[in-house]
Amino acid sequence: MTFPELTGKVVFVTGACQGIGEAVAKTFLNEGSIVVGADLAFDNNDLIKVSDNSYQIHVNVADESSVQNVVAELEKAGLVPNVLAHVAGISTMDYLVNSKTSDFDKTIAVNTKGTYLIAKNIVNLMLTKEQPAKVIFMASQAGKNGYRAMAAYSASKHAVLGLTKTLAIELASKQINVNAVCPGIIETAMKHRERRDGAKIRGLNPDDIEKEDNSQVPLGRTGTPQDVANVVLFLSSHLSDYMTGQALNVTGGMTMN
């Protein structure tokens, strides 16, 4: 199924360099959208065009001056987003009692403060169009549950859901839908690193963690970035026009609430 209403629309995607963010960006490009990918890994602070419908720019979502620079560049190029897909995020791992406060601060800064800063600045730009729009935040099933050795990550994603619900109420009268996606175990570079870190913490090996992961998913497999991108696309389309403030699980049945 394709969504003609997304053709030519401006879609701003954070974390677009790899993993889920990259899959989201490619999915919108396939819909004929104009995609602006922002990522810490991009080294250009000015907006550059990389293909007919694709732009990229550096952003540190935890730094408001960096986010504000992105807004200025979008304004200068006349690219006001119709869709905001905020995917950028990090994780750190350790048992809470052994964890480093600096790791907790970093995780909250990127995942929670970063969501706040992106929402505050990009949504203000979106409001200048006075048109219906879609905002999608990347939360996690860890935003609904607790997981060993992931206290900072879980806390940060619980907070993302709070921001989602609040912003949904505040923007409803503007016909801007705000929803979150809650992925489960998705095969990305971050997940593979988490398996290595988790194995070390728990005295196991990464293969043990992978087997454990698969055993917890009722559908019998872990997810792909495209599984998540498909739901982001749905939330950006007309099919989700009567949905706001929701947190959709993409977990293969691992989380059902």
Please report the domains of the chain, with CATH numbers, ordered by start residue: 4-184+225-248 (3.40.50.720), 190-222 (no CATH)
- Measured between its terminal Cα atoms, the distance across the chain in Å is 27
- pLDDT tens digits for 88-132? 999 999 999 999 999 999 999 999 999 999 999 999 999 999 999
Tell whether pTM > 0.85: yes
What lies within 8 Å, CB to CB, of 174 at 6+ separation is: 127, 130
Instruction: Supply the DSSP symbol for 245.
Output: S
Find the Cα–Cα–Cα–Cα dihedral 60, 149, 102, 143, rounded to 10°. Answer: 40
| Spatial contact of 147 and 37, defined as CB atoms under 8 Å apart | no
Residue 169 confidence (pLDDT): 98
Q: Over 80: is that where the pLDDT of 224 sits?
A: yes
Task: Identify which of 24, 44, 75 has the alpha carbon closest to the alpha carbon of residue 227.
Answer: 24
Residue 99 confidence (pLDDT): 98
- pLDDT tens digits for 14-47? 999 999 999 999 999 999 999 999 999 999 999 9
- pLDDT tens digits for 170-181? 999 999 999 999
Known catalytic residues are 153
| Spatial contact of 134 and 92, defined as CB atoms under 8 Å apart | no
What is the number of alpha carbons within 13 Å of residue 89 lying toward its C-beta?
32
Amino acid code (one letter) for 78 = G
Other CB atoms within 10 Å distance of the CB of residue 125: 18
Residue 112 confidence (pLDDT): 98
Task: For the chain, give the mean pLDDT.
Answer: 98
* Rg, C-alpha atoms of the chain: 18
Distance between CA atoms of residues 237 and 216, nearest Å: 31
Amino acid code (one letter) for 250 = V
For a pLDDT cut of 70, what percent of the chain falls above it? 100
| Spatial contact of 195 and 148, defined as CB atoms under 8 Å apart | no
Amino acid code (one letter) for 65 = S
- Torsion over CA: 161, 113, 119, 58 (sign): negative
Distance between CA atoms of residues 100 and 27, nearest Å: 37
Residue 116 confidence (pLDDT): 98
| Spatial contact of 171 and 126, defined as CB atoms under 8 Å apart | no
